[in-house]
Amino acid sequence: MTTPQTATLTDTELLALLASDVPFGDLTTAALGLTTQPGQIEFLARAPMTLAASEEAARLFELVGAQVSQCLPTGSQVAGGARLLSATGNAASLHRAWKVAQTLTEYASGIATVASAITGALQRAGLDTPVACTRKCFPGTKAIAVKAALAGGAVMHRLGLSETLLVFAEHRAFFAPDELPQAMIRLKRANPEKKLVAEVESVDQARTLALMGVDVLQLEKFTPEAVAECRHTLAASGWGHVCLAAAGGVNARNAVAYAQAGADVLVTSAPFFAPPADVKVLLGPVASPDIPSILSIFQ
């Protein structure tokens, strides 16, 4: 076993994924009489990608009794045709884990690949602006989604509501305008170790919230030009130290423009809506001197 990292999902979670796909055995494989036939499987990248969740895929094969002989680590930048994972075992074991492992790898690698495209665009422009992914992954997939985003070079904006202070307009709606400054003071006083973040939708709102002592302004759906205007306005008002987080619509095509406009961090959900990366699977009998492997036939 050559898996260089450990799986993020526990064995219990991985077994639950298998049980949801194969609750009462593999009818087709068993009816064909292939249950004990020795076989081998390979995962190949159909196109360049940033690999993610390969450790989980490898562990899935191990949990059904297969032996993994190769597994590239999460975060690997691979070319089309690259071998990602290889395993051997009986046909029943390989068929049981096949689709769950493939699909998990494809969806996670899609997230990682889009995150890598955004961070890569910034790096090629000579910028080191952080890319922070939101908590807007599909419910129930957070562990894998976070692993994939990190594999693409991003950081996490928020893992949930429990550890960060982010005041939305929907929070501020519960206060009269003259009550809000004291509410913000109370919020900071009650959480002195936390940065106070507020989402704003205009330069005027940004200036108002900066005057209330906000540490980070989350600029919701600002254009790059509006980010630059906000940066200039705050600097002229003596609040140039406030961190500006551009959010809403940030992707690989506009990331450089937002960073050059003065954003200190780019907040994005784009990786979580990425199409899955395409993983080719070759599964067949183990090669023998008389019978060539199906893997070699189709390569």
pLDDT tens readout for residues 28-77: 999 999 999 999 999 999 999 999 999 999 999 999 999 999 999 999 99
Four-way CATH pick for 125-273: 3.60.21.10, 3.40.309.10, 3.20.20.70, 3.40.1390.30: 3.20.20.70
**pTM score of the predicted model:** 0.92
Q: Which of 165, 144, 113 is nearest to 277 (CA)?
A: 113
pLDDT tens readout for residues 228-237: 999 999 999 9
Q: How far apart are CA 43 and CA 98, in angstroms?
A: 10
**CATH fold label, 11-118+275-298:** Aldehyde Oxidoreductase; domain 3 (3.90.1170)
pLDDT-derived band at 129 (thresholds 50, 70, 90) equals very high
Give every strand in the sheet of 38-45, ordered side by side.
Answer: 67-71, 83-90, 38-45, 279-285
- Helical (H) or strand (E) element with 89: strand 83-90
Residue 299 has pLDDT above 90, yes or no: no
| Axis-axis angle for helices 54-63, 11-21 (nearest 10) | 70
What pLDDT score does 5 carry? 64
What pLDDT score does 295 carry? 45
What pLDDT score does 296 carry? 41
Residue 243 has pLDDT above 50, yes or no: yes
What pLDDT score does 294 carry? 44
The mean pLDDT of 287-291, rounded to a whole number, is 49
Q: How far apart are CA 297 and CA 148, in angstroms?
A: 33
Pairing of strands 196-200, 165-167: parallel
Domain boundaries, the chain: 11-118+275-298, 125-273
pLDDT tens readout for residues 90-105: 999 999 999 999 999 9
What pLDDT score does 6 carry? 78
pLDDT tens readout for residues 132-174: 999 999 999 999 999 999 999 999 999 999 999 999 999 999 9
Question: What average pLDDT is seen over the chain?
Answer: 93
